[in-house]
Structure 1
Amino acid sequence: MSTLIPTVKSGTKKPIESSFNLLPTLPSWFDDILGKGLGTEFMSNFNTGMTLPAVNVIDSDHEFVIDMAVPGLKKSDFDIDIDNHILSIGVESKTEQNEKTENYTRREFGYSSFKRTFAIPESVNVDKIAADYNDGILKIHLPKKEEAKKKPLKKIKIS
């Protein structure tokens, strides 16, 4: 059975660590401490300034479906592409506010982004992948090739 495999941000699988390295690296130590102390709801992607949205991957008989809760965005904020069987879902969102009154001027702006990548199994028909965004939920449909679809149960009679 093939499944979608989340990858690291660069779009490659994590390298296998050497067994000679017995001490944890500083970033992994930092992630361990924050992950245990705060819980995942407070973890953010410090490189991009936006919390990484949780993803549900559904494996049905005919397709994989990726569900991602990303409210408050527009369809134009998303950048979804496939390169060498790697599906990338990225978002860049910019906001800007200007307020002028008699005594002061205030200008606030923000920028946030994230990128999630997934290795697409060979069983997916890449040419028919589709996406839709409704009510804050991004759904990406990855239909399976005919030969990969689950066949109905066949009873064999004994002669």
Structure 2
Amino acid sequence: MSTLTLWQRPLKPASDTDRWVRDFFGPATANDWRSPASSGLHPAAEIIKDGDDAVVRLELPGIDVDKDVTIELGGGRLVIHGERRDEHADTEGDTHRTLREVRYGAFRRSFAVPANVTGEAVSASYDAGVLTVRVAGVYAGSQPQRITITK
């Protein structure tokens, strides 16, 4: 049985560039380079203007939105938070996993909305791994007004 390794950090610096990278990013063991980054889950998002509505789309594949995602509106913020759970984690520290690029853990995304937006203006749906949140009327009456300068 062979082990698949995408990249393995050299044990000794081979050049000045390697030394510079080590000095900049700090010392790390070879295992740190193979493990996922500790920054956690940060789902990709986009906001689209659709007429007077704002449509927020988040990529959330593999997440049970019924159990693990909450959408809240308050204080001029639309907040979407949840968690991607690792269903395959074992109690021995993932000793049987040979590659891990999927990020697990909690996430929180927050978007500013006008203070007059109420919960009735917000609707959400989930399809094919994408959470779509529509905020109705966000852009209504938001045409810029020209202000006259007096002398």
Pairwise TM-score range, normalised by the shorter structure: 0.5 to 0.7
Mapped pair 1:67 → 2:60:
no
Alpha-carbon separation, structure 1, partners of 2:37 and 2:113: 25
C-alpha spacing 1:112/1:147, structure 2 compared with 1 (3 Å):
closer
Identity of aligned residues (%): 25
Alpha-carbon separation, structure 2, partners of 1:134 and 1:88: 19
For residues 34-66 of structure 1, what are the alpha-carbon distances to aligned partners after superposition, in whole Å with 9 as ceiling and x for unaligned? Answer: 9xxxxxxxx9672xx22x122110112131000
C-alpha spacing 1:118/1:144, structure 2 compared with 1 (3 Å):
same
Counterpart pick for 2:47 among 51, 57, 65: 57
Tell which deviates more after alignment, 112-121 or 125-134.
125-134
For residues 105-154 of structure 1, what are the alpha-carbon distances to aligned partners after superposition, in whole Å with 9 as ceiling and x for unaligned? Answer: 9574x95111011111246454220111111000000000695388xxxx
Larger fraction in strand:
1
Mapped pair 1:139 → 2:129:
no
Residue identity matched to 1:64: A
Tell which deviates more after alignment, 83-92 or 138-147.
138-147
The aligned counterpart of 2:76 is 85
Unaligned runs of 5+ in 2: 1-23, 26-35, 95-102, 144-151
Unaligned runs of 5+ in 1: 1-32, 35-42, 100-104, 151-159
C-alpha spacing 1:95/1:130, structure 2 compared with 1 (3 Å):
same
Bigger-Rg structure (1/2): 2
TM-score normalised by L of structure 1: 0.51
Query: In the comparison of the two structures, how many residue pairs are matched?
Result: 102
TM-score normalised by L of structure 2: 0.53
Q: What is the aligned-residue RMSD (CA, Å)?
A: 3.6
